[in-house]
Amino acid sequence: MATIAISRSATTAPRAITRATGESPVVRWTLTALALGFLALTLVLPLALVFHEALAKGFAAYLAAIREPDALSAAKLTLLIASIAVPINLVFGVAAAWCVSKFEFPGKHLLITLIDLPFAVSPVISGMIFVLLFGMHGWFGPWLFDHDIKIIFAVPGMVLATTFVTAPFIARELIPLMQEQGTEEEEAAIVLGAGGWQTFWRVTLPNIKWGLLYGLILCNARAMGEFGAVSVVSGHIRGETNTLPLHVEILYNEYAFAASFAVASVLTLLALVTLTLKTLVEWQQRRQTAELAEDPSSPERIAA
Amino acid sequence: MSIQVRHLRKAFGDFVALDDVSLDVPGGELVALLGPSGSGKTTLLRIIAGLEPADQGTILFHGEDATAQPVRERQVGFVFQHYALFRHMSVFENIAFGLRVRPKAVRPSDAEIRETVMGLLKLVQLDVLAKRRPSELSGGQRQRVALARALAVKPKVLLLDEPFGALDAKVRKELRRWLRRLHEEVHVTSVFVTHDQEEALEVADRVVIMNEGQVEQSGTPEEVYESPATPFVYGFLGDVNLFHGRIDHGRVSIGEGELEAPEWADARDQAGVAYVRTYDVQLHPSPTINGSLEGVVRHVRAFGPVVRIEVDLVEGGRTIEAHLPRDQFDRLSLAKGQRIYVSPTNVRVFARKEG
């Protein structure tokens, strides 16, 4: 017995078995340090800087910068634009995902590509499109002028630009999800006597709710933070067509650094809230997919 | 309620899924649509349900034209291959769904819904699982929930698409016996799709065999098995040996050997295929008077009550399969490499297009 034990330890002791993909400690630590350093420099430092600069002249000055009438009106406008653009994209996104994933029709792939267009073009170009369409020298400009309708350098144009830029978020999130889920549950509901709306509210929507919420959060974050496209169509009229991101720029250009960073910190806080919400929703979504994966009727299990 | 299908045609692009299909399902019967994949059986089922429109043809429910009727008004129960249970609802809510979505005027009260659902859960022997989610059930349990859900709306017709297709062999056997008993209890006109001949022959009152968008034969399991109408049915149901040869004056010549084919007495040197079931192949240690083919035993699988023997024919180099009862096998005391004489009985000959 004893001899056996000794011989075994003698053969295994000199070489610790490492995983084939394992690296030496030096490489591991260097890579980790590099990654962390990069992260600190590009993500954590700017974040800290925003709050540091915002509070550079004290908390009172910070509050004053946020409460200043132009800042408040910018915040109001930002909320207004988001509250119009996000619901429009909610309806558009669900409708587009629904028709792409539940029906077969010619031109489907073209539609999927078109949905991505706002992501593909630079936001500045997106803004320019609307100026070219509705501006004084644009296609519809003279007609709009005759009827006294103002779109460019006014709120409607900013809503349009924001809606355009944020259009893909919800549809993009829902299309793969709904394609994966297929149409069987909807068919089952219809055979059981459910109408179109009943099927949507009782079967489709509950199945996509987490994906939808995720898309909504991202869409909202972008709608509030959009700069390029909105900047082109806004005209930068203080207290009228300034959103928070534009206001930050104006303040900065006027060397009002503390105020500029104070307003920026509001947007940053918004981003942090968005990230938290996003993580929560992702977690919920993963739980749901895990449930789905246990489902022995899911296609992968059948194939195996 | 009876179902009549008249001259149904359906194409998906260039692919013709159904080509002039007509079919009668008498009320209260359990009918199997049997065929290989791509034969159009699922398409036919979906058109009967109203999930798919037909290009041409009519569907009659109890003699009334239902072709243009929307799905939700057809009062059919449909059981999907992958169950299609509502994943976010409990078992109870899944079954109650069909009752809850009814217009207010005809919607049962909560108490009535509860009674119906619990009754159905008892029927499918799942009453203890009412509060579970579909993801917490086994495949067999899910299929039973799907059936209960379809039955909850008191359908006039029950349609099942490969109901046991996604289950393992043992659960499958149990469930199909259970489906048979259930059908005897509720007695609703039922049509189920399957590619498993054993399933169709064991469960159904009537089997409809489909191939390439057409009905090859329809009849009781005995009829289709004992007297197949077409070469396809012969090949599809049960194990069969094929002999290619020429038919002349009521005899089929296969190489040196010959088979009797009295029904082809008028044939003159025509190409033909003879079909012989594996259990209709007789083996003899010496040549017989009425024509036998010489062969060599290639392989013997001697487990279970039926012994399967492969024989290489000397003439033409073909291999045929014979299934012998064990006692007969023991009497012959066959071994690999042994010379043997094969005489097929109950031969069915079909003419073959010369080409």
How much is the pLDDT for B22?
93
Which of B16-20, B83-87, B143-147, B181-185 comes out lowest in average pLDDT? B181-185
Residue B130 CA to residue B92 CA, distance in Å, equals: 5
Mean predicted lDDT score pLDDT of chain B: 89
Q: How far is B141 from chain A (nearest CA, A)?
A: 11
pTM: 0.76
How much is the pLDDT for A87?
94
Residue A51 CA to residue A268 CA, distance in Å, equals: 9
pLDDT band per the 50, 70, 90 thresholds, residue A157: confident
Beta bridge partners of B247: B252, B270
Residue A45 CA to residue B120 CA, distance in Å, equals: 63
Instruction: Name the nearest CA neighbour of B72 among B93, B101, B45.
Output: B101
Are B86 and A185 within 8 A, CB to CB?
yes
pLDDT at A293 over 70: no
How much is the pLDDT for B258?
74
Q: Is the backbone of residue B63 left (phi > 0), alpha (psi -120 to 50) or beta?
A: left
How much is the pLDDT for B158?
94
The answer to whether the beta carbons of residues B316 and B254 sit under 8 Å apart is yes
pLDDT band per the 50, 70, 90 thresholds, residue A297: very low
How much is the pLDDT for A142?
81
Tokens 């909807």, located at residue: A186
Are B71 and A194 within 8 A, CB to CB?
no
Q: What is the mean pLDDT of residues B170-197?
A: 88
Q: What is the mean pLDDT of residues A40-69?
A: 86
Which of A266-275, A285-294, B211-220, B291-300 comes out lowest in average pLDDT? A285-294
Tokens 């634009």, located at residue: A81
How much is the pLDDT for B109?
92
Beta bridge partners of B65: B60
Q: Does A302 touch chain B (CB under 8 A)?
A: yes
List, for residues B35-67, the tens digit of each pLDDT value.
998 899 999 999 999 999 999 999 999 888 999
Q: What is the mean pLDDT of residues B328-353?
A: 84
Beta bridge partners of B299: B310
Q: Does A258 touch chain B (CB under 8 A)?
A: no
| Of residues A144 and A297, more confidently modeled | A144
> Residue B41, exposed/middle/buried by CB under 10 A (0-12, 13-18, 19+)?
buried
Residue in B135, B156, B167 to test binding to A, most A beta-carbons within 10 Å: B135
Tokens 């400690």, located at residue: A25
| Diameter of chain A measured on Cα atoms | 103
pLDDT at B354 over 80: no
Please say whether the dihedral angle defined by the alpha carbons of residues B196, B201, B203 and B209, taken in this order, is positive or negative. Answer: positive
Residue B209 CA to residue B203 CA, distance in Å, equals: 14
Instruction: Name the nearest CA neighbour of A23 among A31, A15, A14.
Output: A31
What A264-270 contacts at long range (C-beta under 8 Å, 24+ apart), as own/partner pairs, is A264/A50, A264/A54, A265/A50, A265/A51, A265/A54, A265/A62, A266/A66, A266/A75, A267/A224, A267/A225, A268/A47, A268/A50, A268/A51, A270/A221, A270/A224, A270/A225
How much is the pLDDT for B263?
80
pLDDT band per the 50, 70, 90 thresholds, residue A181: confident
pLDDT at A5 over 50: no
Rounded alpha-carbon distances, angstroms, from residue B93 to A201, A287, A292, B99, B116: 15, 21, 18, 10, 12
Q: What is the mean pLDDT of residues B311-340?
A: 86
Instruction: Give me the percent of chain B exceeding a pLDDT of 70.
Output: 98
The structure tokens listed for B267 are 């044939």
Residue B88 CA to residue B136 CA, distance in Å, equals: 12
The answer to whether the beta carbons of residues A260 and A71 sit under 8 Å apart is no
Q: Is the backbone of residue A239 left (phi > 0), alpha (psi -120 to 50) or beta?
A: left
CA gyration radius, chain B: 25
Q: Does A303 touch chain B (CB under 8 A)?
A: no
Contact residues on chain A for B150, CB-CB shorter than 8 A: 191-192
Q: How far is B52 from chain A (nearest CA, A)?
A: 11
Beta bridge partners of B5: B23, B59
List, for residues A251-279, the tens digit of each pLDDT value.
888 888 788 888 888 888 888 888 898 88
pLDDT band per the 50, 70, 90 thresholds, residue A301: very low
How much is the pLDDT for A133?
85
Are A202 and B97 within 8 A, CB to CB?
yes
pLDDT at A4 over 90: no
Contact residues on chain A for B82, CB-CB shorter than 8 A: 184, 297, 299, 302
Hey, which of A5-9, A98-102, A107-111, B25-29 has the most confident mean pLDDT? B25-29
How much is the pLDDT for B194?
93
Count of CB pairs separated by less than 8 Å, A with B: 80
| Of residues B169 and A32, more confidently modeled | A32
A135 phi/psi in degrees, rounded to 5? -70, 170
How much is the pLDDT for B291?
66
List, for residues B85-131, the tens digit of each pLDDT value.
999 999 999 999 999 999 999 999 999 999 999 999 998 888 899 99
Tokens 């065999």, located at residue: B209
HEC string of chain B equals CCEEEEEEEEEECCEEEEEEEEEEECCCCEEEEECCCCCCHHHHHHHHHCCCCCCEEEEEECCEECCCCCHHHCCEEEECCCCCCCCCCCHHHHHHHHHHCCCHHHCCCHHHHHHHHHHHHHHCCCHHHCCCCHHHCCHHHHHHHHHHHHHHCCCCEEEEECCCCCCCHHHHHHHHHHHHHHHHHHCCEEEEEECCHHHHHHHCCEEEEEECCEEEEEECHHHHHHCCCCHHHHHHCCCEEEEEEEEECCEEEECCEEEECHHHCCCCCEEEEEEEEHHHEEEECCCCCCCCEEEEEEEEECCCCEEEEEEEECCCCCEEEEEEEHHHHHHHCCCCCCEEEEEECCCEEEECCCC
DSSP A153-174: TSHHHHHHHHHHHHTHHHHHHH
Which of A112-116, B261-265, B324-328 comes out lowest in average pLDDT? B261-265
B43 phi/psi in degrees, rounded to 5? -60, -45
What ipTM, to 2 d.p.? 0.81
Chain B residue closest to A301 (CA)? B166
